[in-house]
Chains A and B, each alone.
Chain A
Amino acid sequence: MIKENNFKLIFLSLSLLLIILIFFFPFFWIITSSFKSPEEIIATSTTIIPRSFTLEHYNKILFNSDFFIYLKNSLIVSFSSMIISIILSVSAAYGLHKLKFYGNKFVEYSLLVTYAFPGVILLVPIYLLFAKVNLLNSYFALIVVNVLFATPFAVWMLKAFFKLIPNEIEEAAYIDGASRYIVISRIIVPLAAPGIASVAIFCFIISWTEYLFASILISGDDLKTLPVGLAGIVGQYQIDWGFLLSGAVLASLPVILLFVFIGKYFVSGLTEGAVK
């Protein structure tokens, strides 16, 4: 017994150390580096504890770049995509998991498989389609694509939450004469609220981080999103590291802030509900 406990303790501490080093240290590293002087960032001898402190990179990105334009575009696109995704996926998940119907298994699996088709395979034809209907260079083009990316998984996440709601509650409401609309808005949505919160953050993240379609479907500088703006700096021959790092930190801030408030729903949505 003692031997096995020791083994577990060693496994636990080793893997904790590994996880912290691999998955958390890089964040410490870029955040501290974004406050270092340009010379210290590119110095060949690396310094774990920063020797210099400067706000010049943040100054430059906030007051001397298109950061706020990109931020505004990213916020508009992400929030709109999130709201449309929630409406579509909650409705679909309700139909799939509360009102069994002929063909629901087919729809459920097809939704999972649609994860195959988004991505680069659709890039060329979607570009042509949007060119035809004059949707290139519009927020709507990105919203259409983001909803497509986010909803299949969102429906799958909601499944668990809907299954947790006992059918008896709904049936009792119908006996009392409640309409479908009342049941959904007064019973289903409130009871599935943590699930809806986790779906919301998932859809926001998907939209916030999307790069490929945003880089192709948008060509005007005034409509570019943050990832595309940042990628422009990554691609430069001489990378201004301080500028890039402060941009990377600022571009991550909104999702991290959102995560501070509703992240726990997302994580518990993933870890406690997902399997029936």
Chain B
Amino acid sequence: MKKNNIEGWLFVSPLVIWISLIILVPIYIAFELSLFNVKIIGTSGKFVGIDNYIKLFSKSKFLNASLNSFYWIIGNAICQTFFAFTIALTINYKFPGKKIMANWIILSFIIPTVVVVVIWKLMLSSSSGIINSVLIDIGLLDEATGFFSSPNKAFISLVLINSWRWSPFLALIILSGLNSINREMYDASKVDGANFVQQFLFITFPNLKSVLFVLGLVGTLLSFNIFDIIWLITKGGPSSATTTLPLLIYETAFTKFRISQAATLSIVTSFLLLLFSIIFIKSMAPKEDD
């Protein structure tokens, strides 16, 4: 089809303008704020130049939150890849009830995050949670444990809860990739004597490239952005073990009332994410064939 420059832009522009306005204007405001020392919203501060940036990089809190965010992304990527592939490969088989399962597996994604929090707070409760009593019954635990009481346990529990919410959604996207793979390739490989694992490594995986590209990019950014699950369960604790960058920004702005510092954090974080996205797209984008 020939290119329709003007009309093309005309159709795209309402959305592009909406998104740009809501992203670029706030980023400009944040950048301006980051050069002042405004504390409480509505008050004015004095110009401090790049002081906020210098202070930020010398703060252990920033370093700690960045590391937590890094572990958070890696942990979620590993868990979600495991769960999502298990679900997708399972649903890809034929079995009775397959349709119902494929439709409703996504339940954990369509309910409000607050409900996710309620479910797991109840299931993991130290006094009356079912997980604790099951673990005690089968002999894995001697007494009830607090899943959010120690830094490591809290972090791992949160990663698992967040993966529980997102994996089914990712599984359906992986399934879309699986459906687009030509069945004959599997039959042909069987004739050549390929086994289950070889089929996965040499047919399934390479053919999922364009799906995995989008998942890798969007998935990383989405896990980075997770705020509510962490905030509503641990508030970043115990002892800042679950304070990722989004929580640090929130805390700085709305509980410590240091608006300029929060703005500085937002700018630095946006820059890091943008850098990641550009590198990821440049190096991993699958070649288009149209």
**Contact surface of A with B, Cβ cutoff 8 Å:** 4, 7-8, 12, 15-16, 18-19, 22-24, 26-27, 29-30, 33, 41-46, 87-89, 91-92, 94-96, 98-105, 107, 109, 111-129, 131, 144-145, 147-148, 151-153, 155-156, 167, 180, 205, 208-209, 211-212, 216, 226-227, 230-231, 234-235, 239, 241, 244-245, 248, 251-252, 255-256, 259, 263-264, 266-267, 270-276
Q: Is the CB of B3 within 8 A of A102?
A: yes
Contacting residue for A112 out of B15, B129, B218, B253, CB 8 A: B218
Residues of B1-17 whose CB lies within 8 A of A: 1-12, 14-16
Quick one: which of B23, B111, B173, B269 has the most chain A CB within 10 A?
B111
Contacts of A15 in B (CB 8 A): 86-87, 89-90
Contact A272:B179 (CB < 8 A) given known A27-B107, A128-B29: yes
Rounded to whole angstroms, the CA-CA distance of A245 and B288 in the bound complex is 48
Mostly helix, strand, loop or mixed at chain A's interface?
Answer: helix
Q: Which 9 A-B pairs have the closest CB atoms?
A: A101-B8, A95-B11, A125-B26, A119-B225, A120-B246, A274-B176, A99-B4, A92-B15, A95-B12
Contacting residue for B23 out of A23, A117, A208, A276, CB 8 A: A117
Contacts of A91 in B (CB 8 A): 11-12, 14-15
Extra 6 A-B pairs, beta carbons < 8 Å, given A92-B11, A121-B269: A96-B12, A100-B8, A120-B250, A127-B253, A226-B112, A263-B104
Q: Is the CB of B250 within 8 A of A123?
A: yes
Q: Is the CB of A16 within 8 A of B95?
A: yes
Number of interface residues, chain B, beta carbon within 8 A = 106
Q: Is the CB of B18 within 8 A of A148?
A: yes
Binary CB contact string for chain B from 276 to 290 against chain A (1 if under 8 A, 0 otherwise): 010001000100100
Q: Residue on B with the closest CB to A154? A: B15
Q: Is the CB of A248 within 8 A of B118?
A: yes
Q: Is the CB of B105 within 8 A of A19?
A: yes
Contacts of B288 in A (CB 8 A): 105
Contact A112:B217 (CB < 8 A) given known A126-B22, A272-B179, A275-B177: yes
Q: Is the CB of A145 within 8 A of B103?
A: no
Question: What are 25 contact pairs spanning A and B, CB under 8 A?
Answer: A16-B95, A19-B86, A19-B101, A30-B118, A41-B128, A91-B14, A92-B12, A101-B7, A112-B217, A115-B217, A115-B221, A124-B30, A124-B259, A126-B26, A148-B23, A156-B214, A209-B110, A241-B122, A251-B114, A251-B115, A255-B112, A271-B172, A271-B176, A273-B176, A274-B177
Binary CB contact string for chain B from 17 to 39 against chain A (1 if under 8 A, 0 otherwise): 01100110111011001000000
How far is the CB of A96 from the nearest CB of chain B, in Å? 6
How far is the CB of B262 from the nearest CB of chain A, in Å? 5
Contacts of A109 in B (CB 8 A): 281, 285
Total contacts A-B at CB 8 Å: 310
Q: Is the CB of B15 within 8 A of A151?
A: yes
Asked if B133 CB lies within 8 Å of chain A CBs, one says yes
Asked if B58 CB lies within 8 Å of chain A CBs, one says no
Rounded to whole angstroms, the CA-CA distance of A208 and B109 in the bound complex is 11
Q: Residue on B with the closest CB to A120? A: B246
**Contact surface of B with A, Cβ cutoff 8 Å:** 1-12, 14-16, 18-19, 22-23, 25-27, 29-30, 33, 41-42, 83, 86-87, 89-90, 93, 95, 101-115, 117-123, 127-130, 133-134, 144, 164, 168-169, 172-173, 175-177, 179-180, 195-196, 210-211, 214, 217-218, 221-222, 224-225, 227-228, 232, 245-247, 249-250, 253-254, 259, 262-263, 266, 269-270, 273-274, 277, 281, 285, 288
Contacts of A255 in B (CB 8 A): 110-112
Contacting residue for A100 out of B4, B111, B262, CB 8 A: B4
Contacts of A129 in B (CB 8 A): 25-26, 29
How far is the CB of A210 from the nearest CB of chain B, in Å? 8
Contacts of B22 in A (CB 8 A): 122, 126, 144-145, 148
Q: Is the CB of B115 within 8 A of A113?
A: no
Contacts of B103 in A (CB 8 A): 263-264, 267
